[in-house]
Each structure stands twice: as structure tokens, then as C-alpha cells.
Amino acid sequence: MNKKFKLTSARKAVLEFLEDSSFHQTAAEIHQGLVERLPSLNLSTVYRSLDYLIARQLVSVADIGRGSPVYEIVSDQPHHHLVCLNCDHVYDLDHATVEYLFNQIEADQSFEIRTNHLVLYGICESCQSEE
């Protein structure tokens, strides 16, 4: 990325925390994970840092049914999720699975899709077998 931006200590800490995380984090979880290292960090600073990083396309935000938006590092390859409405498990969905759909929508609607994160809700196989 060639865009210039100012990376304050809080922004850098949030970015590093998300880079080290293997799953989506809420702002409160990010704050909780950083407050020991940065005791003066408050939750509003985390939100402002996230807004800044989202605007520069370094971090993405999504609603995966956890009650609060979740954040993660933007990757080079779009990725998507299936979220079980019963057990709340989040499954990764490879972009190749929905790429045809995206391409078809773009062609049919003359619409350029810019999302890098599709979330679909349903019932997982395990929960289906329990019903």
C-alpha cells in the first residue's frame, strides 16, 4: 500500500494485536488485550484507531452475529464466513466458492462489488443433526 498515513502508538498496537490474532475481535476484546501493555489506552481510542485503520483499508469490520462488530486485518484474498445461528460457530468459506456469484452480480447489475467479507447465516451440519 503506497498511501501515507500516521501510525500512532495506539493505532500500531491495535494493528499488531489484530495481526497476531487468529480470529475476529470486538473493540472491547482488542481493548482488553492491550490494556495491560498500554494502561492509559481507553476504549474510545481503540474505536478511533479502528475507524482510522478501516478508512485506510488495513482493517475490515463485519457483523458475524456476536452482538458487536468484529474486526480483522484485511487480507489480499477476499474471504467469507458461514455462521451457525444455533451454536454460533464461524466457518471459513473460500472465495472461490462465491466468486462466480460475485462475477455474475457484477455483470448482470453493472455493479462493482468491493466487499472482501461476506457473512452468511444458517444452521451447521452438526446442529442440523441434533434437530
Q: Which domains are present in the chain?
A: 9-73 (1.10.10.10), 79-130 (3.30.1490.190)
Task: Using alpha carbons, select from 43, 75, 81, 46 the residue that is nearest to residue 58.
Answer: 75
pLDDT by residue for the chain (131 residues), tens digit each? 445 678 899 999 999 999 999 888 999 999 999 999 999 999 999 999 999 999 998 999 988 887 899 999 988 778 889 999 999 898 989 999 999 999 999 999 999 988 778 899 999 999 999 87
pLDDT at residue 78, rounded to an integer: 82
Instruction: At 83, give phi and psi (nearest 5°).
Output: -120, 125
Distance, CA of 9 to CA of 5 (rounded, Å): 13
User: What interhelical angle do 9-20 and 27-34 show, nearest 10?
Assistant: 100
Distance, CA of 23 to CA of 70 (rounded, Å): 9
Distance, CA of 95 to CA of 78 (rounded, Å): 6
What does the pLDDT look like over 27-63, one tens digit per residue?
999 999 999 999 999 999 999 999 999 999 899 998 8
Distance, CA of 75 to CA of 59 (rounded, Å): 9
Q: In the chain, count of helices (H) and strands (E)?
A: 5, 5
Distance, CA of 103 to CA of 110 (rounded, Å): 10
pLDDT at residue 2, rounded to an integer: 42
pLDDT at residue 3, rounded to an integer: 58
pTM of the model as a whole: 0.77
